[in-house]
Structures are given as C-alpha cells and as structure tokens.
C-alpha cells in the first residue's frame, strides 16, 4: 500500500484513493476521498485538472497533470482518468500501482479550460484520453445548463472509447440536447480538417472546446478556422510533462535597490479585485503576485500547463516559454503569468 506521511509543500495535500475504475484495457479512473476540511480547497470547475506527485526511484518523484473527468454537479467525489502512453512514466505507474486505500500527494484543482456560461450551446472535441476534461464539461452543462451539446469523439477503435456506456446513457437521458458523434478509424479512417469542417458546419455558432493529441487539435483548429469560427470562441487544453517541482514552496523574491528603482508598475485584476504593485523586470508575474500573498492560479511555473494564463489589457511583456499558447492566443493578448516579464513601464493584466 502506498502511503504519504506529510506533504512536500504548503499548497499540496495528501488524499486517499476511494476507488480505481478500469475504463478500458489501458485506461483507469482514480477517485479521491476529500475530507470535509478540504472540500472548499478542492472545489473545482468543469474542465479543470489535478497535479499528482508520483513516486520515482530515479528522481524521488515526478509531477503530472491529469484532467478531472468528474463533474462538480453530478459526482460526489473528484475523479481523474489516466490512459497509458508508451513512454509515460506517470500514467504507467498509476495504472500499475495505484489501488483503493492508497495515498497520493495532490495540488488543488487548477486550469482555465472551463466554460464561462454553462447555458451556451457547446461544440466539444475529444480524441483518446482527451475526452476527460470534455466529459466534465459535458456532464456539467447537461446538469446545470440549458443549451445543446455536440461531442465529436475520435478513437482508434470501439474498444478504445472511454466512458462509452456513460455517454450512451447520457444521450438516452438528454436526447433533445446531446448529440455524440463517434469517429472510429476502422470505419472512417483518419480525420482531415475538411472532413471535420463538413461534420460540424451546422454548429459554428456554438462555443468550441477541444482536447487530444496535438495533430488532432491542429485539424480541429484548421476546421474551425475554415468555418470562420471566432478564435475567442475556441478553447484548447494542452498538457506537457512537467520537468520541475510544482510541489515545492515558492521562494521569496529578492530585489536589489537598482532593480526596484527600474521596476514597472502593474494593475492586476484577480477574482474581481484590482491590485497595483511594483514589478521588477527580472521577476515573473506569478513570482511577484505570490510574494504579495495573492492567490494567483498556477501549477507548474514552467509554461507547460496553462494554469496561469491571463490577458494583457495594456502594456507589453516578454515570455521565456510560450509554446503552449497558439500564435492567435498571443495576438489576442493571452500570456502565461509564470513566464511573463515586463517590457513597458506600465501594464494592466486580467485573470
């Protein structure tokens, strides 16, 4: 049995595994118990993810992000779903080792891949295990919203379809609101942008969300662009393996007198409140917000998870790593707080 005596940082907690569910031959869901005193911290929005600290004999641990496939409105306990990948240490360790009763260290829910309005008509795309955050959004919208939901779900074959029975049941319960389109390679071959565009042409007014391997999401982006779906109505979830340790506590920011004198000024809107602060040019936005005691959304601090995505309303920043953002995102003012450093003297930023 896996046990964790104490968390490795002040942000993380140790959760007990309530159940492990075999979804397909290579996919397992991990359900967590959440004690009453942690329920507020682990309240989550549809489409968010958890970061798990997975033991490693070689490095001590690795951090991996897994989407919540559960809905905060229809499921009693949070659940992440993990699919094996050929060289994926984290996914293979979890599928091979984790069992009910085990303990694992977890960071609170994070991520911005979530609808602002569950009453919107939604066009959802998933491929393989990319169904996990999409499933959370789908169930939440059917439970709490009033709009229609269309899901396009691509898989290698019928045996690879995660949540097949649950999707069938949901269509039966919501036949007027939910449409599920399965794209199976043995029947339809590999999708192309033109094929996807033809398939979803009736739904171009819907808000679009996508998750899956990069080649699939590139096709979806191209398909929606060809249909002239506005870029601000398309949302993509992208994960990379985390190289650093997001479980370690944040080190205090140290600023010299010269750096303080040359600092920019930034107004940050967070949770409806505006905070004005000095922003030394060698520090990232996440660093200075944490140093001020603000509850800034972040997970990896490496530009790899997108949790700290925000919008520049005024001013200009430079970013060390912004590969997770599309060029269109950057053109529209999106930045990663953990990578952003000020270029202009004054900035306004909104989370």
Residue percentage of the chain with pLDDT more than 70? 98
Extents of the domains making up the chain: 13-110, 122-237, 257-350
Give 241's pLDDT tier (boundaries 50, 70, 90): low
**Superfamily of 257-350 according to CATH:** Beta-grasp domain (3.10.20.30)
- The 10 Å CB-count burial string (b at 16+, else e) for 143-179 is eebebbbbbbbbbeeeebbbbbeebeebeeebeebbb
> Helix, strand, coil shares of the chain as percentages rounded to 5?
25, 30, 40
C-alpha distances in angstroms, 246 versus 8, 299, 350? Answer: 10, 6, 23
The answer to whether the beta carbons of residues 152 and 126 sit under 8 Å apart is yes
Residues 10-37: pLDDT tens digits? 889 999 999 999 999 999 999 999 999 9
User: Which residues are within 8 A (CB) of 341 and not within 5 positions of it... i.e. 6 or more apart?
Assistant: 281, 282, 283, 284, 285, 317, 318, 319, 320
- What 8-state DSSP symbol labels residue 212? S
The answer to whether the beta carbons of residues 4 and 104 sit under 8 Å apart is yes
Selected from 3.10.180.10, 3.30.70.20, 3.40.50.80, 1.20.1250.20, the CATH number assigned to the domain covering 122-237 reads: 3.40.50.80
Residues 150-185: pLDDT tens digits? 999 999 999 999 999 999 999 999 999 999 999 999
Tell me the HSE value of 315 on the side-chain side, using a 13 A CA sphere.
Answer: 22
Give 327's pLDDT tier (boundaries 50, 70, 90): confident
- Could you tell me the pTM of the whole model? 0.86
The answer to whether the beta carbons of residues 113 and 217 sit under 8 Å apart is no
Domain 13-110 fold is: Elongation Factor Tu (Ef-tu); domain 3 (2.40.30)
Quickly list DSSP for 283-310.
Answer: S-HHHHHHHTT-----S-SSSSS-TTEE
Residues 101-114: pLDDT tens digits? 999 999 999 988 99
**Confidence at residue 243, expressed as pLDDT on a 0 to 100 scale:** 66
Mean per-residue pLDDT, 189-197:
97
Tell me the HSE value of 219 on the side-chain side, using a 13 A CA sphere.
Answer: 21
Structure tokens at 62: 């690795």
Place of tokens 């590999």: 190
Q: Where does the chain show beta strands of DSSP type E? A: 13-24, 27-32, 49-56, 60-67, 79-83, 103-110, 122-127, 149-155, 178-184, 207-211, 234-237, 264-270, 273-279, 309-314, 317-319, 334-336, 340-342, 346-350
């Amino acid at each position: 049995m896996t046990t964790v005596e104490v968390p490795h940082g002040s942000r993380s907690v140790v959760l007990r595994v309530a159940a492990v569910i075999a979804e397909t031959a290579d996919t397992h869901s991990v359900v967590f118990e959440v004690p009453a005193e942690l329920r507020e911290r682990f309240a989550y929005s549809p489409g968010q993810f958890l970061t798990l600290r997975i033991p490693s004999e070689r490095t001590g641990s690795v951090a991996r992000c897994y989407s919540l496939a559960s809905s905060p409105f229809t499921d009693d306990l949070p659940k992440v779903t993990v699919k094996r990948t050929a060289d994926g240490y984290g996914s293979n360790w979890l599928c091979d080792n984790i069992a009910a009763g085990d303990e694992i260290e977890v960071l609170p829910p994070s991520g911005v891949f979530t609808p602002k309005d569950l009453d919107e008509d939604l066009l959802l795309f998933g491929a393989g295990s990319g169904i996990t955050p999409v499933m959370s959004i789908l169930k939440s919208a059917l439970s709490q919203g009033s709009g229609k939901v269309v899901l396009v779900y691509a898989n290698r074959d019928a045996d690879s379809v995660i949540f097949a029975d649950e999707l069938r049941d949901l269509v039966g319960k919501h036949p007027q609101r939910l449409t599920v389109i399965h794209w199976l390679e043995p029947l339809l071959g590999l999708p192309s942008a033109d094929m996807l565009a033809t398939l979803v042409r009736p739904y171009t007014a819907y808000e679009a969300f996508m998750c899956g391997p990069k080649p699939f999401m590139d096709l979806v982006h191209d398909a929606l662009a060809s249909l002239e779906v506005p870029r601000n109505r398309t949302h993509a979830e992208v994960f990379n393996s985390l190289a650093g340790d997001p479980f370690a506590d944040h080190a205090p920011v140290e600023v010299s007198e010269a750096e303080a004198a040359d600092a920019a000024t930034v107004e940050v809107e967070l949770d409806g409140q505006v905070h004005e602060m000095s922003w030394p040019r060698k520090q990232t936005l996440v660093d200075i917000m944490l140093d001020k005691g603000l509850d800034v959304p972040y997970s990896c601090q490496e530009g790899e998870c997108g949790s700290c995505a925000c919008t520049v309303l005024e001013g200009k920043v430079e970013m060390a790593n912004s590969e997770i953002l599309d060029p269109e995102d950057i053109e529209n003012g999106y930045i990663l707080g953990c990578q952003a450093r000020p270029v202009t003297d004054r900035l306004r930023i909104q989370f």
